[in-house]
Each structure stands twice: as C-alpha cells, then as structure tokens.
C-alpha cells in the first residue's frame, strides 16, 4: 500500500469517527433532556403522593372524630346536643 492510499483510508476513518462522535453527542443531549423531564415528573408525582397522603390522613382523622363524637352524645335535657368530651363546635 502506498502512502496516498493509507492517508486516504485514515481520512475516511477519521471522518467516520467524527460523524459517529457527533451522533453520540446528540444522543447524549437527548438522554440528558429526557432525564430532566423524568426527574421533574417524579418530583410532581412525589408532591401529589404527599398531598394525597395528607388528605387521606386528614379525612381518616375527621371520620374517626365524627364517629367518636356521635357515640358520646349527652342525654341530659338541659344540655344542647353535643359531645361530652368534645369541645369542637362541629360536633354540636
């Protein structure tokens, strides 16, 4: 093989490698963008999960308070119908 043929092969290979490197850079940028999107979605879902968990606990607490109050109604004719042990106006 002569020097010109070797040089031609080297130039072709370098060009091919540069093209492949460019494609990999673009793929990497695309993947990094996708990672950002997925992290944002993960954070949103985490926030929603926490909100729903808090809401569920609040509702469970409200339901247990209501059932507790309904079983402790005063039977005295001089009292307003209210919970004996519950000072909350919502139970009156």
Domain boundaries along the sequence of the chain: 3-91
**SS3 at position 83:** strand
What sign does the CA torsion over 9, 10, 11, 14 have? positive
**SS3 at position 37:** helix
**SS3 at position 72:** coil
pLDDT at 64 over 90: no
SS3 content of the chain, % helix, strand, coil (to 5): 75, 0, 20
pLDDT at 25 over 80: yes
- Please compute the mean of the pLDDT values over residues 14-33 and round it to a whole number: 98
Residues 54, 60, 62, 64: what is their CA dihedral angle, to the nearest 10 degrees? Answer: -150
pLDDT at 51 over 80: yes
């Amino acid at each position: 093989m002569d020097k010109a043929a070797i040089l031609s092969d080297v130039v072709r290979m370098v060009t091919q490698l540069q093209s492949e490197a460019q494609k990999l850079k673009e793929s990497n940028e695309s993947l990094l963008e996708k990672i950002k999107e997925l992290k944002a979605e993960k954070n949103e879902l985490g926030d929603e999960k926490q909100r729903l968990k808090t809401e569920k606990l609040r509702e469970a607490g409200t339901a247990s308070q209501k059932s507790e109050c309904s079983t402790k109604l005063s039977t005295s004719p001089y009292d307003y119908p209210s919970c004996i042990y519950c000072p909350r106006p919502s139970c009156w």
